[in-house]
Amino acid sequence: MDGSGVEDTAADNKRSSQAGAMSAQADVGTPKRTKDIISKYGFSFKKSLGQNFLIDQNILRKIVSAAELDESKGALEIGPGIGALTQQLAQAAGRVTAVEIDNRLIPILRDVLADAPNVHVEHGDVLKLDLEALIAEQFAGLSGVSVVANLPYYVTTPILMKLLEEKLPLQHIVVMIQKEVAERMAAKPGGKEYGSLSIAVQYYCVPELVCIVPHTVFIPQPNVDSAVIKLTVRDKPPVDVADEAHFFRTVQACFAQRRKTIANNLTAFVGKAHRESLGPLLVSCGIDPSRRGETLSLAEYALLSRALLDAGLPEA
């Protein structure tokens, strides 16, 4: 795909299987099998790539079941590691494409997934790949595609924002992420978790926390607990926004300093010269200027952005 792609075709899989590969029957995501694979290949974890492999079949089943897959559906996995989740996805979906950045894992995946001809492994950085093209190429003819992944924590938000902002044709995004990030994504107005991430995610999706996951189900164990979150991608946003870029800039501006009122935060956004007009503008939207950004709903942000746009604010 990107020139660095390693095709892991069914033929490759067969060859590698015939070459005496480790049996692909046993579940990869168990403590013993994971340790065996790691020691067989002399694999060493790279903390910088967020490598924490899942070793709990129960959690793996929960992730796969939340994605509502069947033979007519495709699964795009980001960061397959040694294939614990990939193996389960291969059984649940019609086709699986797994994007892995670490080239040391490609031969391991080829070996471990030798008996799964419906899996394609793409070597690359998910943040740099043309995912629209990859989805079109890999999942043509299927009735829907979902992203299912145990995400590398160091890039969770950039990956999710890429999936959402590129408006990829996805049904669900079911991902294991840091618990605090999952809680922020699903947060409702009024709490300290609610912020620009909640609004961005809820603009594109309906979030649902699937389960909280203790750090003990990974090798190596991360320092924090995790959660599985299911994002059902909306056909269209729940609010009518005139200019998406302006809407998100308005949201960012209102959270610039969480302790400040929206009137104060917006003054920095529109410039001091327009300070006086902000009060009436907010009131015309039914928003008390002394409220804080964390209390405004998506609908109120949409109204506010539209009123600012109508007033030509901020000036270009």
Residues that bind ligand SAM (CB under 6 A): 49-54, 78-81, 84-85, 99-102, 105, 125-127, 150, 152, 155
127 vs 309, which CB is nearer to ligand SAM? 127
Closest CB to ligand SAM among 155 and 287?
Answer: 155
Q: How far is the CB of 62 from ligand SAM (least distance, A)?
A: 13
Backbone angles phi, psi at 269, to 5 degrees: -75, -45
CA distance 78 to 125: 9
**Diameter of the chain by CA atoms?**
76
Ranked by CB distance to ligand SAM, the top (closest) residue is: 79
Shortest distance, position 217 Cβ to ligand SAM, whole Å = 10
Q: Which residue's CB is nearer to ligand SAM, number 13 or number 150? A: 150
In whole angstroms, the minimum distance from the beta carbon of 65 to ligand SAM comes to: 15
Q: How far is the CB of 87 from ligand SAM (least distance, A)?
A: 10
Tokens encoding 248: 């998100």
Indicate the residue among 176 and 231 with the shorter CB distance to ligand SAM. Answer: 176
**DSSP H/E element including 308:** helix 298-310
Residues 234, 125: Cα–Cα separation, whole Å: 26
Dist CA 312 CA 75 (whole Å) = 44
Q: Residue 127 burial (CB < 10 Å; 0-12/13-18/19+)? A: middle
Task: Report the nearest approach of ligand SAM to the CB of residue 44 (Å).
Answer: 12
- CB of 262: closest distance to ligand SAM in angstroms? 36
Least distance (Å) between residue 250 CB and ligand SAM:
30
Between 147 and 302, name the residue whose CB sits nearer to ligand SAM. Answer: 147
Q: Which two tokens stand for residue 38?
A: 């790691």
Q: Which CB atom, from 175 or from 304, has the smaller least distance to ligand SAM?
A: 175
Burial class (CB in 10 A: 0-12, 13-18, 19+), 6: middle
Please check whether residue 176 is in contact with residue 213, taking contact to mean a CB–CB distance below 8 angstroms.
yes
Q: Which is nearer to ligand SAM, 96 or 200 (CB)?
A: 96
How many CB atoms sit inside 10 A of residue 18's CB?
9
The least distance separating ligand SAM from the CB of residue 80, rounded to whole angstroms, comes to 5
Please, which residue, 38 or 256, has the CB nearer to ligand SAM?
Answer: 38
- Antiparallel, parallel or unpaired: β 172-178 and 95-100: unpaired
Are 34 and 219 spatial neighbours (Cβ–Cβ below 8 Å)?
A: yes
Pairing of strands 205-213, 226-233: antiparallel
DSSP 178: E
What is the C-alpha to C-alpha distance for residues 246 and 198, in angstroms, rounded to an integer?
A: 17
